[in-house]
């Protein structure tokens, strides 16, 4: 199968539209009382800050570089 520049451009436009939609609809964050058993790179969750405190209290955290990092 030969991939033309036109087909690649169409595919890329569809994929970027999917990414945009996912980012626009990803506003809800579930607040947890314990760390997820299997965190994935880029996972975003809320920590209640009492039963589960990844290090900076209650808030929204993203898992990257092997650690939970607080946003904002």
Q: How far apart are CA 67 and CA 1, in angstroms?
A: 42
Residue 37: domain span? 5-70
What's this model's pTM, rounded to 2 decimal places? Answer: 0.61
> How many independent structural domains does the chain possess?
1
Between the CA of residue 36 and those of 17, 66, 68, what are the distances in Å?
Answer: 29, 13, 11
pLDDT digits (tens, 9 = 90+) for 14-60: 999 888 877 766 667 778 999 999 999 999 899 999 999 999 999 99
């Amino acid at each position: 199968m030969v991939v033309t520049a036109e087909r690649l451009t169409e595919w890329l436009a569809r994929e970027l539209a999917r990414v945009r939609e996912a980012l626009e609809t990803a506003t809800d964050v579930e607040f947890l009382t314990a760390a997820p058993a299997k965190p994935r790179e880029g996972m975003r969750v809320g920590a209640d800050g009492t039963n589960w405190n990844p290090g900076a209290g209650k808030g929204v955290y993203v898992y990257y570089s092997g650690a939970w990092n607080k946003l904002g």
